[in-house]
Structure 1
């Protein structure tokens, strides 16, 4: 039986750490990790996972590679389980309540890291939630992996104007790549698009390529060093 999670800390943990954060529908399960002090930047990223009703959790392999990529880039990271997933309380709310879950984690991250740049990132459904809330949460940068255009209503979203990286597999069997490209073409913003050939939705055998694409894609947007 798993031990109950401790309450959210008042400072950002220096090592990988899991805790329970008070959220809008009950406790949220959150896991953080800190960048190597020698590489650390004054930035924190909150990462959203795939669809809760289709097995998505913060432990998804694409999410964990996304986390690793951004942490290796110097950002402190926070992943969390949406309501009703893992140890998070509540029930699935079709993307709306999940946006409020994200807002709760962002509020905690800003409280413990005041002055940090706040980035949002997500995979699949998680990218829909992070894109949907990027404007209201004043994200400083956005990373979207396989955004599910055509599966969720992207037409009414407020378009972020912050730096924005989108990575899309060209052989995605869940999200139609052409629908994603057409949606990007319709935007007023100009996100950086990386099209990965021979790549499925879950980046089978391409996770290290995803790592490289993310690290290369965000390197010019990174905030200043945390120390020095």
Structure 2
């Protein structure tokens, strides 16, 4: 997927879809943002969404990422997606989650500049959920969504867990992530995220994307920030 890239970095959140290059830790970061679906229903919040593994075809255009973006935009949040270093028009090379965490932090910094005072929601799919989770507490996220968190593939034991509302969505027939390992990990946590188990669902949510959209909207609706015009 290609899109026109703005020559400037927006100083305010764009009123329509926009893609631009943000100065990142190792060079340009390709960022795409979308305003909330209806300004009259817009909430005082912004969601930043992380994509799956860069070395296995993951980009900000992944279907799970884009359906997550759609769900959050329909809830009234402005949304931001971006390509981790080395993907698309983002500079650099894969850095095993460390550098990608700094990429996320840089994008969050921009989001907070253009939406000062707004709630920050983080979301991610697969590897992106690992990056979102490991940074949620240090970035002071107000809500977190992790889809198919790759427990067993990455170091989850030492992650500082968030104290914000947290939704986990996991397909029961995931062929990439061990679903049982995810369920067992959640049972052992000191915090209790809301878990949505999706039966007959693969890693990439084939034929279940609309169900995923509904799970996100139903699971997170009660945590929405105030309408923007009232905030």
Judge same fold: TM > 0.5, yes or no: yes
Distance 1:176 1:126 in 2: 16
Residue by residue over 1:93-126, the C-alpha shift from the partner in whole angstroms, topping out at 9 and shown as x without a partner, is 0000000000000000000100100010000000
Distance 1:2 1:161 in 2: 37
- Which segments of 5 or more consecutive residues in structure 2 lack a partner in the other structure? none
Report the Cα offset of residue 7 of structure 1. Answer: 2.6
3-state DSSP class of the match of 2:182?
Answer: helix
Establish whether residue 133 from structure 1 lines up as the match of residue 135 from structure 2: yes
Distance 1:112 1:158 in 2: 27
Task: Give the structure 1 partner of residue 200 of structure 2.
Answer: 198
Report the Cα offset of residue 6 of structure 1. Answer: 1.8
3-state DSSP class of the match of 1:62?
Answer: helix
Task: Give the structure 2 partner of residue 16 of structure 1.
Answer: 17
Task: Give the structure 2 partner of residue 27 of structure 1.
Answer: 28
Residues 2 and 126 of structure 1: is their aligned pair in 2 closer, same or farther, counting only changes over 3 Å? closer
Residues 167 and 3 of structure 1: is their aligned pair in 2 closer, same or farther, counting only changes over 3 Å? closer
Report the Cα offset of residue 72 of structure 1. Answer: 0.2
TM-score by length of 1: 0.98
Task: Give the structure 2 partner of residue 146 of structure 1.
Answer: 148
Query: How many residue pairs get matched?
Result: 228
Residues 170 and 37 of structure 1: is their aligned pair in 2 closer, same or farther, counting only changes over 3 Å? same
TM-score by length of 2: 0.97
Establish whether residue 52 from structure 1 lines up as the match of residue 60 from structure 2: no
Residue by residue over 1:114-168, the C-alpha shift from the partner in whole angstroms, topping out at 9 and shown as x without a partner, is 0100010000000000000001100000001000001111011001110000000
Report the Cα offset of residue 185 of structure 1. Answer: 1.1
Establish whether residue 113 from structure 1 lines up as the match of residue 115 from structure 2: yes
Task: Map 1:27-176 onto structure 2 (within 5 A).
Answer: 27-35=28-36, 36-176=38-178
Residues 112 and 2 of structure 1: is their aligned pair in 2 closer, same or farther, counting only changes over 3 Å? closer
Report the Cα offset of residue 4 of structure 1. Answer: 5.6
Report the Cα offset of residue 34 of structure 1. Answer: 0.4
3-state DSSP class of the match of 2:58?
Answer: coil
Distance 1:165 1:79 in 2: 19
Distance 1:23 1:215 in 2: 31
Residue by residue over 1:40-70, the C-alpha shift from the partner in whole angstroms, topping out at 9 and shown as x without a partner, is 0000000000000000000000000000000
Distance 1:188 1:99 in 2: 24
Report the Cα offset of residue 39 of structure 1. Answer: 1.6
- Deviant stretches of 4+, over 2 Å: 1-5
Distance 1:19 1:72 in 2: 23
